[in-house]
Amino acid sequence: MKRFFYVLAITFLFFPIASVHAEQPKVELATEARSAILIERDTGAILYEKNAHEPLPPASMTKIMTMLLIMEAIDQGKLKLDERVRASEYAASMGGSQIFLEPGEEMTVDDLLKGVAIGSGNDASVALAERIAGSEEAFVHMMNEKARQLGLKHTAFENTTGLPAKNHYSTAYDMAVMAKELLKYDLITKYTGTYEDYLRENTNKKFWLVNTNRLVKFYPGVDGLKTGYTSEAKYCLTATAKKGNMRVIAVVFGAPTPKARNAQITKMLDYAFSHYETKPLYKKDETIAIVPVSKGKKKAVAAVTSEPISVLLKKGEKSEAVKTTWKLNKKVKAPVKKGDVLGTLIVKKDGAVIAKSPLVAKEQVEEANMWELFKRMFSSFSRTS
């Protein structure tokens, strides 16, 4: 039953981005890109796309998946921001963009995450990957497994960095899905939305970080996510911006210059914010229902939203026709892990389903021991006697 609901969750989570297409613009928004996509984050509605399913080298946009697994580890308590991580000789040997880690150097997870998100540090990416999975190879396996779980059919990773590799590819659509998932963790934009910062600040090796995504500074509302460049991939960018209640994600692969890349992202963001608006329905982690748990130390657990839930409207469109319902799994048995799927939130507009999203356990519920179950049964018997 748990496996069924896990699969159900994956299906529901990406139903919106897979199925909801807003009216496509009559003008071409990404003439100089090999592929592109524009989506609204909460609903996943596709506002524009061009060759969105063409497999291409993602360069350092690969680090969106790397950061997703890092944020998951932090959220699950497996990794602490103030924990110090020792750089291996292998991590320190990475070429390309780097923060110049030395073998044996220790740096906090917080600083390494800055190195990945702001400076696109390949060495920082590998150091964190090794800390989480034991080796980069094992972490790459986790990346590919996560891609499979997310239903990404045209993505494969060979490394954590985006350095050129034969079977390392993704698509604009898949990258948007990864970005959508990463943005569930509000903390990430603290890093990706920072334009400049310093590492080793109180040492004689002070290192200045400048965000490779210049739109963070020059486009109001942009707070992520990741650039990419190799001679094969050309200039790539997965960007996100928020204005008012609306957050959008724009992806560009294969632009000829940084200027062309930024211009096309800007054009897509302008289009989204001028034509659409988002009506929020629920925040992430908002309690929707209380679900009974059998044989648990606690008798019930809260079912909460796993992501922000909104409805996308054209500017001036009325929202009265939007309704929400939910379905809960009635047979929940301990142990329950935080994040386990307990049901589904359903959003309807004019009676038609426009989005579905999993409802998940707010906290862990451990299995009760025999003594606890006996006391509970005895107490129940006493009350009915």
Convert the pLDDT of each residue in 261-273 to its tens digit: 999 999 999 999 9
DSSP structure class, residue 77: T
* Entry pTM: 0.84
Q: Whole-angstrom Cα distance, residue 355 to residue 375?
A: 43
| CB-based burial label for 159 (10 Å; 0-12, 13-18, 19+) | buried
Is residue 80 a known part of a binding site? no
- Residues 198, 340 share a domain: no
In this structure, is residue 16 part of a structural domain? no
- Low-confidence residues in the chain, pLDDT < 70: 1-21, 371-385
Closest CA to 103 of 112, 94, 92, 95: 92
In this structure, is residue 250 part of a structural domain? yes
Last residue of a domain, one of 278, 302, 320: 278
- Residues 338, 270 share a domain: no
Last residue of a domain, one of 218, 246, 278: 278
319 is known as an active-site residue = no
In this structure, is residue 185 part of a structural domain? yes
- Residues 311, 207 share a domain: no
DSSP structure class, residue 372: H
Q: Whole-angstrom Cα distance, residue 234 to residue 67?
A: 22
Whether 128 contacts 140, CB under 8 Å: no
If one counts the domains in the chain, the total is 2
- Residues 268, 336 share a domain: no
Q: Which structural domain range is residue 183 located in?
A: 35-278
362 is known as an active-site residue = no
In this structure, is residue 301 part of a structural domain? yes
- Residues 295, 270 share a domain: no
Q: Whole-angstrom Cα distance, residue 278 to residue 20?
A: 14
The residue from 50, 63, 114, 356 that is catalytic is: 63
Q: What is the CATH number of the domain that holds 365?
A: 2.60.410.10
Amino acid of residue 325: T
310 is known as an active-site residue = no
The residue from 35, 50, 60, 146 that is catalytic is: 60
The residue from 35, 88, 97, 120 that is catalytic is: 120
Q: What is the CATH number of the domain that holds 141?
A: 3.40.710.10
Residue 95, pLDDT score: 87
Residue 2, pLDDT score: 37
Last residue of a domain, one of 278, 294, 325: 278
Residue 377, pLDDT score: 64
- Residues 258, 153 share a domain: yes
